[in-house]
Amino acid sequence: MSENTENTAEAGDNTQPEQEQEPVQAFSQDDVNRIVQERLQRERDKFSDYDDLKAAAERAQELESENQSLAEKVAEFEAQAERSRLVAEVSETTGVPADVLRGETKEELESHADVLRSLISTGPVVRGQEKRPDAVSADPLQEFARNLFAQAD
């Protein structure tokens, strides 16, 4: 077996092509510094617009938050307009003044209008009338006030 190994080693030496060895280049320190500086400059050039991109991203974020707040305001105004429309509608159908109605939905507004209408329908109560105009007492102060504000014929 040792003969086979020797034969293959000899045969391997003969079969390997001679490789040309490249001459080793020697760089001076100035060459190395120049190469490194060029490489650094290429890397810096890749990221030269980073500040611009960062500013643009911040501006986009500001615009997005402003857009969000404006969308919220629009939704708020639309809700107020819808409520005003409902109040006007209920006021017209029930005869209750719109500025005294309370509620957010049409059902709430209608139920509040019903309560107010029952209170308004009783009319004003004047002391001493007891729901009958002919039961007015003969108080001299009331008579004076009635004459004071009576229209001249």
Single-letter amino acid, residue 127:
R
Whether 80 shows a pLDDT value over 90: the answer reads: yes
The model's pTM: 0.44
Q: Cα–Cα distance between 31 and 38 in angstroms, integer?
A: 11
Residue 114 tokens read as 């019903």
CA 102 distance to own-chain centroid: 28
Q: What is the pLDDT of residues 113-134, one digit of tens each?
A: 888 888 776 655 566 555 555 6
Give 38-53 pLDDT, tens digit per residue. Answer: 998 888 888 778 888 8
What is the end-to-end Cα distance of the chain in Å, rounded? 152
What pLDDT is stored for residue 141 in this prediction?
84
